[in-house]
Amino acid sequence: MKAVILAGGFGTRLSEATNLIPKPMVEIGGKPILWHIMKTYSYYGIHEFIICCGYKQYVIKEYFANYFRHNSDMTVNLADNSVEILDNHSENWKVTLIDTGLNTMTGGRIKRIQKYVGEERFLLTYGDGVTDLNIGDTLLSHEKSGAILSLTAYQPSGKFGALQIDPQSNQVTSFLEKPDGDRNWINAGYFVCEKEVFDYIREGDATIFERTPLENIAREGKMHAFKHTGFWKPMDTLRDSIELNDMWEKGIAPWKVW
């Protein structure tokens, strides 16, 4: 089974870093967040990946093209330019890197890699969110559901402290630091998809996957939700990047399941 990762967007909300590199290459603990996502999948036996590239795609391609040598001990004989690999610390991954266009929307990117997925079930996620999600459990839940698409649903906590204020005196009557959100489940961006999902992408490169395709799949009763109550965090802003790196450096990164 293959995991498809959307890694072609501009990442404008993290422009402090993405003016030089694509967002999935922004590092946590010295490794791109894309690597962290792939390590999670690999832990659950998924070793084949299709990366949907776009903005600054050459950075992603060069990273994986040189990954083996950069993660191996070796002896270089400068006399004849030969290289002897001494110890390989690389990954057992097969990575297909596809240019899905600079301005292509998410659905269009997925449609462009259809021929590389083939007729089999596939996993899908974005290249900017880490989680301790049990991929194996999502697959089992999907199989039981009979749906053509399962998404991971998550209830985020609030980002700010919540106050209750007396409207007459302006006295704060209660304070709750970072309460649960509005109790709505949101799309956490980890999907299990059957090949029929491609049939719902009908507007070419302009197709936004989260709009018409997902709306129609849900309307037809063919979408299943896997409720995740563990850890999930996207890297949307510089603050998110700092928080994720801080967690990694302190050894309290919940997504490090490997």
Give the per-residue pLDDT at 164: 65
pLDDT beyond 80 at 175: no
Give the model's pLDDT for residue 138: 97
Q: What is the pLDDT of residue 160?
A: 54
User: 6-38 pLDDT, tens per residue?
Assistant: 999 999 889 888 999 999 999 999 999 999 999
pTM strictly above 0.85: yes
How are the residues of the chain apportioned to helix, strand and coil, as percentages rounded to the nearest 5? 35, 30, 35
pLDDT over 70 for what percent of the chain? 91
Q: Where are the domains of the chain?
A: 2-155+183-249
**pLDDT tens, 47-58?**
999 999 999 999
CATH class label, 2-155+183-249 = alpha beta
d(CA 55, CA 81): 34
Q: Is residue 85 predicted with pLDDT exceeding 60?
A: yes
Of the candidates 172, 168, 132, 166, the residue with the CA atom closest to the CA atom of residue 152: 132
- With cut-offs at 50, 70 and 90, classify the pLDDT of residue 183: low
Contact 186, 158 (CB under 8 A): no
Nearest to 93 by CA among 154, 170, 35, 144: 35
